[in-house]
Homo-oligomer: A and B are copies of this chain.
């Protein structure tokens, strides 16, 4: 039976001004985790959250993670964990978000003050953190408060985990989650993360997959120091010559990865899966707009979505140690380090990818006949993640979306990675759902970041409705 949600929705609407004020207060705290000088603001933002949660009657703990590795004079901001409700007869949902934000300054080109929530006549609420991720985090608090004010029983036990270092490497978070999996998070029945975006601007979605990433460096060195190309050009083997040849042999213009054996690691495309892409609300115009150009690899939506979600890709990011400034310098760099990464997908095992990459690069280097020294290394790897969208966690979210937005959500995957997703899945052993609040044009890490008022208010309804549907879903 569909839950009675009208009272809750009405309450959210009537409190919308209050909820926007709460977001305004949060945006006003410049909790930039990558800026050392802003660390006290990050901590202040954590305290703000903790106090709001306490005022709502939640049990709250601020957990310290120790010193920041490499910057030992800096204390890491606390993880704010909280529990709202402790009823053995209810399901327990663990939600995650982050209260830190990307750097922002008027001088970067913002049209408004980045740390002052500014609402325009189209209902766009501009401000750093509005959509990433303060809006969604406050969404959970607002849902609790609306239930209280409307006198509606909260349908689940809610566990919350809000971190303050997401935009700066989530230092220490994995260890914390693993340590708490059988403690603070022990009752978790499913996990919900609201920290991504709709694929477009009109249609809501649920996200069930992310690509992984394996990031490599190729270091080529020869001479003892940088050389002058006039004196040594033509007489010394140049590391850059070798490196650009190796980097040029990794992938072609059409995205075809040249590493033998890599394709065979990819899960084959079934006819069923292929059909999914046709119905996704996405157009090549969307892509051209976000790309700012027409330089796409594929002319059609289906292959584009598959290329982003379910096939690997290889990008060459740059070269360390070579001349990278404007102007002209006649240097022969003595040691250069190329950087490239591969976005990985099911069923690629990171170790297999490493093995094939190392073999390809080593074999290519051998064909060059170079006396220089070459070393290919893995810098870091994060695995892909795919959840089952048939789980009750997804069914509940799908029904809630249809109820709030009047449309069945698209089931999407993403090309990037949100490493904490896999951490939660592995630590709790439970289904994880990505339930976005904002839309594709919010500009999470750009200037003029915004969250549409409609996405915020309907998003608060969605989070609450999701919890009600969760409570009604049969066991899988």
Task: List chain A positions with a Cβ less than 8 A from chain B.
Answer: 211, 213, 215, 217, 222-225, 227-238, 240-242, 244-245, 247-249, 251-255, 287, 290-298, 304, 307-308, 311-320, 322-334, 339, 341, 343, 368-372, 379-380, 414-417
Contacts and interface: CB of A to CB of B under 8 A. Distances in A.
Given A235-B313, A241-B251, A247-B248, 9 more contacts: A230-B417, A232-B415, A234-B255, A235-B298, A237-B253, A241-B315, A245-B253, A248-B249, A292-B334
Given A230-B414, A330-B215, A244 B295 contact: no
A20 B357 CA distance: 60
29 contacts: A211-B230, A215-B330, A223-B291, A223-B292, A224-B292, A229-B313, A232-B291, A233-B314, A234-B255, A234-B308, A235-B287, A235-B313, A236-B291, A237-B254, A237-B295, A240-B318, A245-B248, A245-B253, A248-B249, A254-B369, A292-B334, A294-B371, A295-B370, A295-B372, A296-B371, A317-B322, A328-B379, A328-B380, A329-B339
A247 to B, nearest CB: 4
Contact of A238 (B238, B316, B319, B417): B316
From A213, A244, A308, A370, residue with most partner B Cβ within 10 Å: A244
Nearest to A298: B235
Indicate how many identical chains form the complex: 2
Given A228-B416, A231-B415, A379-B328, A315 B240 contact: yes
Contact of A330 (B223, B317, B322, B328): B317
Given A230-B213, A247-B244, A330 B315 contact: yes
Nearest to A327: B379
A255 to B, nearest CB: 5
A152 to B, nearest CB: 39
A292 B241 CA distance: 18
Closest 5 CB pairs of A and B: A224-B292, A230-B416, A234-B313, A318-B323, A318-B322
Residue of A241, A315, A332, A416 contacting most chain B CB atoms (<10 Å): A315
Nearest to A319: B319
A76 B217 CA distance: 44
A291 B326 CA distance: 27
A328 B377 CA distance: 12
Contact of A235 (B308, B330, B332): B308
A223 B325 CA distance: 21
Contact of A229 (B293, B327, B343): B343
A312 B230 CA distance: 10
